Amino acid sequence: MLVEQRQELLLRELRASGAVRVAELAARFGVSAGTIRRDLAELAELGRLTKVRGGAILAGPRDEPSATAGQPGRPTPPAEPPAAAPTPEPPPTPAAPAAERTIGLLVPSATYYYPSVVAGVRSVAGRRNTRIVIGLTQYDSPRDIQQIDELCATGAAGLLIASTGGHHLPAPTLERLRATGLPFVLLERRPEDPYEPCEFVVSDHRLGAFNALRQLHGLGHRSVGLYLNETPTAPLIREGYQHAVERLGLDPGAPAINGGRPSPDARGADRRYDAFIDALLANGTRAALVHSDYDAIELLQRLRARGVHTPSEMALIAYDDEIASLAEVPLTAVAPAKRLLGEVAAQLLLDRMDTPPDAGPLATRHVVLHPRLTIRDSCGSRPPAQPAGQLSGGADA
């Protein structure tokens, strides 16, 4: 990335959030903190921003020089006494700032997937004088309705909801949301009834999985395995995987394993990883899509321990991009636009809350975001060589 491109992206982020931090920008752009500090210093000299400890904020308005007094080379004429001093007008009364309002945000977890979503919500809420109160369910379905009631009790005037369970919002949860009388937007969830008038913002995980397999197919692979964790995203990834297998003519018998829910039982996880690797090697499959990137890193390490190198002997693409770039072989990864998802959902909700009653009803909006495929080192540039006499399944497409 060129310096000018990086600085333009930095300014876009600053305009969007009002403030930026050196550490966050360095991680996002993949450069050192020193590089970001130099960028901030250059932009500060140009008056594009104001440096503060640890980052920068938007530049304030500059004082304009007087049009006459103090200009070099021009003497200041003596002041003439006015005939009558006019009564000065009182300064205008500043407009009272808009009263802060509160929105409730319900998410299943504060540690995986949703931190970036929450950051997106916060960035919009901060610009629009809105306080956020968060509720966590820890993937415990009965807590959904309890947390909705508690968020309402805080005085929330609107709700952003990512319910526990699958990608469909449970009917009782939707009924409770309707009963609150508050505007709400769903995050990564849809109502079970596709004709239910309900606003939502979701990621197209089917497309994300399809694009991952299309990338591997383009590199010559005709058999691609699938490793899934038991998450609300997993069924959609599986659907996209199956569509790609059918559309691209890939081997329908390639290993596909459900690794179950993430568990503190490391030995159980190790057994599932080993079983998946055994199945890949026995089938002659030399590529896999792995959900999540945590699991992909574990598989990468266990493959290396067996003497199977990535990508030359096993190509990997991770689904999710939390830590994929930090793997010993940086992982190509499907990256859902989580922060943008939070931003868009917050904008939809606040737009609805800010619409005057006499403006008429807003159209119900459904927003679908496409995940990005970030190419790194783990899928290689050409298919791995097959052992002599062993063929991968499926026909060339």
The answer to whether 101 and 132 have CB atoms below 8 angstroms apart is no
Radius of gyration of the chain (CA): 27
pLDDT of residue 16: 66
- Helix (H) and strand (E) counts in the chain: 11, 17
What DSSP designation does 140 have?
-
Q: What is the pTM of this model?
A: 0.71
- Return phi, psi of residue 224, to 5°: -130, 125
C-alpha 240/C-alpha 213 separation (Å) is 9
Which mean pLDDT values do the consecutive 10-residue runs of the chain (397 residues) have?
76 74 79 86 82 73 36 43 45 51 92 89 94 86 87 96 90 94 97 93 98 98 96 95 98 93 60 96 98 94 96 97 93 97 97 87 93 95 47 34
- Return phi, psi of residue 53, to 5°: -60, 120
Structure tokens given for 393: 């399944």
In what side-by-side order are the strands of the sheet with 287-290? 256-258, 225-228, 287-290, 315-319, 332-335, 372-374
In the three-class reduction of DSSP (H, G, I as helix; E, B as strand; rest coil), residue 165 is classed as coil
- Return phi, psi of residue 249, to 5°: 70, 35
Domains and CATH numbers, the chain: 3-58 (1.10.10.10), 101-204+338-356+363-371 (3.40.50.2300), 205-335 (3.40.50.2300)
Structure tokens given for 244: 């790609």
The answer to whether 208 and 183 have CB atoms below 8 angstroms apart is no
- Within 10 Å of residue 134's Cβ, how many Cβ atoms? 17
pLDDT of residue 263: 52
Give 330-389 as a DSSP string: PPEEEE--HHHHHHHHHHHHHHHHHS-GGG-PPPP-EEEEPPEEE--STT-SSPPPPPTT
